[in-house]
Amino acid sequence: MSRLVIVANRVPDPKEAGPTAGGLAVALKDALANRDSMYFGWSGKTAPQTGTEAALHRHGTTTYATIDLGHDDYKHFYQGFSNAALWPVLHYRLGIARFDRRDFAGYQRTNAAFAAALAPLLKPDDTIWIHDFHLFLMAAELRALGCKQRIGFFLHVPFPPRSVFNGLPHAEKLLEAMEAIDAIGMQTEDDSENLRAALIAVGKGDVALRVGAFAIGIDASGFAKLAAQRAEAKEVKRLRDSLAGRSLAIGIDRLDYTKGLPQRIAGFGAMLERFPRHRGKITFLQVAPVSRGDVAMYRALRRELDEGVGRINGQMAEPDWAPIRYITRAVPRPTLAGFMRMARIGLVTPLRDGMNLVAKEYVAAQDPADPGVLVLSRFAGAAVELDGALIVNPLDPDDIAEALDAAMDMPADERLDRWNRNWAKVKAVTASVWCRRFLSALEGTKDVADAGQAEAQPA
Ligand code: ADQ
């Protein structure tokens, strides 16, 4: 089997890639472990200049190859074009995107630098799999350096309708650069349709045929086991004791404006207003560690949340009960798994999300004898599969309020029925299934669009 080369903006520390880690490293675990592989990308460190030669570390069957980012590239490529322009536009938020020509120049320069540092490490029959929006231009840069290997690309975030995407300066350049990619994976069929239409509009109908939907999943049984094991852990017991018999609703997100946190908090407040019989009967715990804290948008979000939580707690709390508990510190994953299992309600209400793995983790964490209810945004990719959830419009606090009310009163047989439907999906499309499906489309002879469509139907 040929070597697999994974390229991602951020390369995880191999020592942290165990069962307790999250993200891409976990999703790719099997693929990396079962064959000769390389994991290439940014080290997470900055330096005066972006590295030209990768530092190599071998760990199991995988070589980790990383370069540092220069201060300028960190500013323009990472904080600038990737986080302040692409991230909001891809999440349909054209109005808050910030554009600067220097940022795009930094984006081009860094994609080229990644390609130049990777090219000398490649073997002729490697399979290259590039991940996510930071690296739209990298495949084209590799081709310009003469690389003939198969190149795949997976977009973890949504792809908006063409009319939104075209608001991005240089949108056309990004689309044209996709010519260099052999197989393009998206989270959902909607995302695929949007990208295909955008490609066709710039005369890249041939590239549109290489786009398919490959929903990402989690290590379902591993997470279920972790949650069950942690159910009686010290921190989990502490939380249970502190609830004094009240129900728990839980939200777990990176602190990001795409996650719909102010709207979620308003929805919880609206529930307490409109259905006062739940007052004192439920506590909402939101865990949202600060990410990208250096960007102004994120500082503003933090203030908004501090105020929203404070207002509702101030209005509604009793001396022995506060409706909302809000933690911006990181909480270890195993503990979160135990919290999820205890929660009667999982609140996952992003305004847009490629997939949202927390929704799947919440399902996996449940006690099959007494499962909780997932309240899920219709704008999360996960909503395509998880039709056992109570599906809400995250922009409508009353819709969230009504779903919370329904979840609080839901009889055990309906909870079980809905959970069984969701669990069947979570188990059918795991992280390793996702990986295998994409790689067989990339390495196989199957037409990518057909492969993606066929695979979108869980077994
Ligand atoms: P993210 O936006 O990071 O990922 P998500 O899929 O929900 O969103 O989470 C990724 C992982 O981080 C999950 O395993 C989750 O448990 C963990 N996580 C989230 N909040 C946490 C917290 N407070 N503490 C500890 N761990 C936390 C991007 C896209 C998603 C897509 C994924 C994978 O934005 O739409 O599902 O990639 O493709």
Q: Cβ(216)–Cβ(23) under 8 Å? A: no
What's the CA gap between 271 and 251, in Å, rounded? 16
Q: Cβ(388)–Cβ(376) under 8 Å? A: no
Question: Which atom of ligand 1 lies closest to the CA of 357?
Answer: 6
Q: What is the pLDDT of residue 76?
A: 97
What is each CA distance from 220 to 26, 223, 238, 415, in whole angstroms? Answer: 11, 5, 26, 19
Rounded mean pLDDT of 132-147? 98
Q: Cβ(346)–Cβ(375) under 8 Å? A: yes
Above pLDDT 70, what percent of the chain?
A: 95
Q: What is the pLDDT of residue 459?
A: 35
Describe the chain by its helix, strand, coil percentages, rounded to 5. Answer: 50, 20, 30
CA of 353 to the centre of ligand 1 (A): 10
Total residues found in the chain within this entry = 459
Rounded mean pLDDT of 418-434? 96
The residue whose CA has the least distance to atom 26 of ligand 1 is 333
Ligand 1 lined by 397 (C-beta under 6 Å): no
What's the CA gap between 224 and 366, in Å, rounded? 7
Catalytic residue set: 156, 353
CA of 219 to the centre of ligand 1 (A): 13
Rounded mean pLDDT of 236-256? 96
Lowest-pLDDT range, 203-217, 274-288, 296-310, 360-374? 296-310
Q: What is the pTM of this model?
A: 0.95
Q: What is the pLDDT of residue 458?
A: 43
What's the CA gap between 286 and 394, in Å, rounded? 16
The residue whose CA has the least distance to atom 9 of ligand 1 is 357
Report the alpha-carbon angle 12-17-21, nearest 5: 95
What's the CA gap between 116 and 303, in Å, rounded? 41
Q: Tell me the two tokens of residue 383.
A: 């909503």
Q: Which helix (H) or strand (E) holds 40?
A: strand 37-47
CB neighbour class for 440 (10 Å; exposed up to 12, middle 13-18, buried from 19): middle
Name the residue type at position 83.
N
Q: Which helix (H) or strand (E) holds 173?
A: helix 171-177
The residue whose CA has the least distance to atom 3 of ligand 1 is 254
Question: In 293-430, which residue ranges form alpha helices assigned H by DSSP?
Answer: 296-316, 333-342, 357-365, 397-409, 412-428
446 pLDDT band, cuts 50/70/90, is low
Q: Cβ(361)–Cβ(372) under 8 Å? A: no
